[in-house]
Amino acid sequence: GLVAHALGIHRAMAWGVDTICSSVISQMHAAASLIAAGQADHVLCVVSAAYSRVTDPGSSSTIQEADMAGAMVVARRPGCRMDFAWRVDGRLHGAIRLAWDVPTGTAPRAWWQQSREKLLIRFDPELQTRVMGEIAKHARTVCDEALARAEMRLDDIQVFLSHQPFVWYREFIADLLGLRDDIVFDTFEEYGNVNSASIATALHHARKAGRLEKGTQALVCSSTRRRRASG
């Protein structure tokens, strides 16, 4: 609603669609469904990540995380289509959580000193191991299903974009799906992990680089380790 107000948009729906790393794909799916149902002609999708507010400054992973915002407009175009496939496992919802805690390496405080607690991202080591172990199975499944629904084969894909949580993820996902290296496009080297905005960032730069044009056959994939809040 705040974004719509700032843009002077009043005669429209304003929804919060947030699935963390997969937010861009979720928003595309919602937008495409609205358009296909005749409920909208153009849908403005906005994503943002503000990692700097919740990262642990004492953790080594902080150096690869950044803030970013992106926006895109989804509309009908003759001859174009989008097909989707999903998998969800609610058992792993606690793999990431937001918790009030002191940053790693913080010196103990005297009782009269102000608390240094802040809202930080925390990971459950056991669940994280399960999540990372199952990404390979689920990524292959959803990509195969999406291609089947689009009546396409992997060899038809001209550019592949995915969420980019780690520096090694590009090679991992390419090997997993059997992708040619020349079709994989990412922006991790430039921006690091920008979470929910990573796919939007990759889409923007792939278009600027001439890799994503009218008629380009693209495959987009993301995995989400859902975040929960705790007091």
pLDDT tens digits, residue range 77-111? Answer: 998 899 999 988 888 888 888 889 989 988 888 88
Find out whether 91 and 223 touch, Cβ atoms under 8 Å: no
pLDDT category of residue 51 using cuts at 50, 70 and 90: confident
The larger pLDDT score, comparing residue 131 to residue 188, is at 188
The span from the CA of 51 to the CA of 35, in Å, is 32
Model's pTM, two decimal places?
A: 0.85
pLDDT category of residue 59 using cuts at 50, 70 and 90: confident
Confidence (pLDDT) at 230: 37
Q: Which residues does 176 contact at the CB level (< 8 Å), separation at least 6?
A: 136, 139, 140
Confidence (pLDDT) at 79: 87
pLDDT exceeds cutoff 60 at 231: no
Of residues 123, 26, 137, 160, the one with CA closest to residue 89:
137
Mean pLDDT confidence for 39-59: 91
The span from the CA of 193 to the CA of 30, in Å, is 24
pLDDT exceeds cutoff 80 at 188: yes
From the CB of residue 12, how many other CB atoms can be counted at a distance below 10 Å? 12
Confidence (pLDDT) at 132: 77
Confidence (pLDDT) at 225: 56
Range 57-94 burial, b when 16+ CB lie within 10 A, else e:
eebeebebbbbbebebebeeeeeeebebbeeeeeebeb
The span from the CA of 169 to the CA of 85, in Å, is 21
pLDDT exceeds cutoff 60 at 128: yes
Mean pLDDT confidence for 199-208: 95
- What is the helix (H) or strand (E) element at residue 146, kind and residue range? helix 125-149
pLDDT exceeds cutoff 50 at 125: yes
